[in-house]
Structure 1
């Protein structure tokens, strides 16, 4: 399905409204639709939001901005030893007077010390950056046993591999299924015992501490954090020098997260099976809508609507040992009445402006919208090295034939607006291997692109350095952009201009009949011979 990317705008609030306070959650007794009290500056009629908006609700953040606003607050960084030892305290206990006297003073904070400063971190803000990246995960957090009802976890067939089976009844959004960053975070929540227990504690605390009166259930958000050992938190907030106290408005990044799980996680997805069975065209890249959508959090989205992707300030996450995730067709029994595949275009017109970030239902009327809320900055290119095993072996053979390797490595192709080939079919990044070699005093670049999903057959590219001080780093960036814009084809016109008579396409050796994406190691020698002949 084509996804339309758009800025965040919310209906029924004024332009440039700043979030001042975040209060308690509530729902009707017997109902399931939770809302949360929000105070905006300037004051206005709208005083609550659906919890599907929690992804973007951070204190002092400006909503419906019509101009650029500098992020509010003073920056600070804190090292975490063990978050399970943090104190649970009310905002009213914060020594900063203008903070402790606000209307949300009864809400829960974590209190901890770092480098001589006492931090008051609103608990809902930590949960937002760790867990609330979509309406789906926010709703699931409020349900006892929510994770178990959506996913079945099994040991994989290969060593150090775990299978996560997305159950046919799961409403996990399409973006989360096909996005390697969101899958990695989901695997962390599902498989890391500490993190899963922390996520589950949200519903447990709600059941234990929620209060009912006048037909509503009300709850002051509280949960048990994971240990977050050796994590670095980068935050912004209000600092009072006299008391050495810091009240956190917003967490910008969470670095050095650890995951206690297998190194490879395979997601088995019935929606992916339907996509492959349809044999439709590949999903296209995001395109800008004709009109800006407005989030209406009083309405629900329909099941068959086109999915808008909303640009929001993402939380930066990084894992010390990131896991590799893959997406595979569900190998179990397919449900009857299959839903539309990911390539099915909706009939929603471009003049539709209202969208909903809640979960789609049969009662919904609006197009669905999802947040692009995670920026995974983990150092993970090594996870994709196995896609280039044969190519790397060929480069090693070249070294025995008089070539000297100057540098080399693997890079992810960049995301370009309007183009999708930077991702493989399963949502993992498509990578390019780049090696700089010398032979007989002449420098060459050897490039190989991962086409294991058979989207295109792309030969190895050999480039002869055109000048002594040639900038290879700038050139590789240019080539990456051309590759995407030309749907994974080497840019002939550009190569003729920059490398006249100095570029060669090297055919690959014969591939395995069982897997066209893998190269047979026994034919490497012929590949090496063709490269050497092109260097002559």
Structure 2
């Protein structure tokens, strides 16, 4: 349950209005329409309130806050639409002068066809960009990215040098999805232009009165051609339109980035081959709190730990995922090109939301609002090149090349173990080959150990049925993590199949098919298949 201190109990957001701040203050706020507890009289039920704009990751229409009882679900439908070109959608302004997009669409599942939907611009910006308190604040600051990140493009990779006084929460660099989102905003041409259009419009359009400044949010969206949006909508018989309350997911998000992105900082350090928490005077440690109370009336203290605020996740998946890494650099975080010798790729590490100062009274909070579900397994195919070449050599020798099934999947997170990720922060993947040889069925599995975490042989499992094996494969993968990157024992597999290991060549990641070690690997593999 999300709690905001100055909201009444069981408050429901009915609309988001203008962004404003008092002349004497620095923090920007957003006007919020709230429905109060349903037991109150009509005059008391609806009220205007506000929250800091840095709370935007939480603020979607129809969400409830400070909830202490159950409510009947609001009459909403969930539809998924495919975007042709969002920049060609109509822009309309409602009675409260808030900007919206309008277009005739159809649900891709054919539940609704040729309907007019109305999408608030601020909701689209929220799910594309405003995933954290930092990004919400940065959206209104035209020079924030230029001051805090130095982008160095190279032939096969891009380095993002994190400059001195960068306020992006250090712990968020450990989150692969957040790294990828930040890289997309910084490096993708359309995404960067769209994000910066927020601050450009803000600076040129905001209006100042004697005591207050205000602005009605609007921006230029990326085209999002081919992307699919999953929406919560409600139908108004009065206008014959469908109004979007919330965007739940965006899939097939276009991206022009096709190379590795490395975030570099002198504050990233390594100790005993494990990454340590980033240390800086701004504070880098963080805690997690599933039920914090957000207090917009007090200022966060920059010396206190950052509290990670669990909030409803927005599912994003890129059409062409790219790899991100962290790296330590030897020099201070200043602009300018540096040598690759200065860069050391790192292993991954085993509340107020406003801008914090050392004079604040309460702890700092940050949202984890992005759930990255990009299908990025193809990024890790190269880590199985030797294994795949060995299998292909075997199948060619025995003329069964067309009788195999090759798949790659991710190892699951299990409890607090970090072994489902490799030291470079990417998900540890597992390759599986199913084949039939001499009238017997085999599953051959190989785990990505490119970080040399532990030597792990190729495993061959003789199975009676591929269907039964497939049903047990998820628990098989869990056991690998539970056993600290070791294969499940024969006892654990007794009802699934008969296992046997095959040792790798010592230099598996550098071997070629002409090497004697490679040929010996194929020979050992063949002998094991024949023996069980």
TM-score by length of 1: 0.82
C-alpha separation in 2, matches of 1:446 and 1:48: 58
C-alpha separation in 1, matches of 2:361 and 2:494: 53
1:113 to 104, 114, 119: 104
Distance verdict in 2 for CA 1:530–1:326, change over 3 Å? same
Q: Secondary structure at the match of 2:268?
A: helix
Render the CA deviation track for 1:453-491: whole Å, top value 9, x for unaligned: 2333322222111x3465122222012111222222223
CA contact (8 A) 1:164 1:265 kept: no
1:133 to 127, 131, 134: 131
Tell me the CA shift for residue 519 of structure 1. 4.4
C-alpha separation in 1, matches of 2:441 and 2:182: 44
Distance verdict in 2 for CA 1:87–1:281, change over 3 Å? closer
C-alpha separation in 2, matches of 1:56 and 1:193: 27
Tell me the CA shift for residue 190 of structure 1. 1.5
Q: Secondary structure at the match of 1:475?
A: helix
Superposition pairs of residues 9-408 of structure 1, within 5 angstroms: 9-29=3-23, 31-42=25-36, 43=45, 47-66=49-68, 70=73, 73-92=76-95, 105-115=96-106, 116-158=114-156, 161-241=157-237, 243-261=239-257, 263-270=258-265, 274-277=268-271, 279-280=273-274, 292-303=291-302, 305-330=304-329, 332-333=331-332, 355-358=351-354, 360-402=356-398, 404=400, 405-408=403-406
Render the CA deviation track for 1:218-249: whole Å, top value 9, x for unaligned: 11111111122233322122223464312211
C-alpha separation in 2, matches of 1:191 and 1:376: 17
C-alpha separation in 1, matches of 2:139 and 2:290: 33
User: Pairwise CA RMSD of aligned residues?
Assistant: 3.2
C-alpha separation in 2, matches of 1:129 and 1:228: 13
C-alpha separation in 2, matches of 1:431 and 1:450: 6
C-alpha separation in 2, matches of 1:520 and 1:248: 55
Superposition pairs of residues 389-468 of structure 1, within 5 angstroms: 389-402=385-398, 404=400, 405-465=403-463, 467-468=464-465
Render the CA deviation track for 1:85-123: whole Å, top value 9, x for unaligned: 33332222xxxxxxxxxxxx2222123333543322111
Give the structure, 1 or 2, with the largest relative contact order (CA under 8 Å, sep 6 or more).
1
Tell me the CA shift for residue 251 of structure 1. 1.2
C-alpha separation in 2, matches of 1:290 and 1:59: 24
Does 2:468 align with 1:471? yes
Tell me the CA shift for residue 278 of structure 1. 6.7
1:525 to 499, 502, 519: 519
CA contact (8 A) 2:288 2:309 kept: no
C-alpha separation in 1, matches of 2:484 and 2:309: 25
Q: Secondary structure at the match of 2:122?
A: helix
C-alpha separation in 2, matches of 1:497 and 1:132: 50
CA contact (8 A) 1:12 1:46 kept: no
Q: Secondary structure at the match of 1:27?
A: strand
Q: Secondary structure at the match of 2:367?
A: strand
Render the CA deviation track for 1:247-268: whole Å, top value 9, x for unaligned: 211112223221123x113223
Render the CA deviation track for 1:303-334: whole Å, top value 9, x for unaligned: 56554433322222222222232333336446
Does 2:477 align with 1:480? yes
Superposition pairs of residues 487-526 of structure 1, within 5 angstroms: 487-492=484-489, 494-495=491-492, 497-498=494-495, 502-511=498-507, 518-521=509-512, 522=515, 523-526=517-520
Distance verdict in 2 for CA 1:442–1:344, change over 3 Å? closer
C-alpha separation in 1, matches of 2:102 and 2:406: 46
Tell me the CA shift for residue 302 of structure 1. 4.4
Distance verdict in 2 for CA 1:470–1:344, change over 3 Å? closer
C-alpha separation in 1, matches of 2:211 and 2:441: 76
TM-score by length of 2: 0.83
C-alpha separation in 2, matches of 1:418 and 1:67: 32
C-alpha separation in 2, matches of 1:173 and 1:462: 44
Tell me the CA shift for residue 359 of structure 1. 5.0
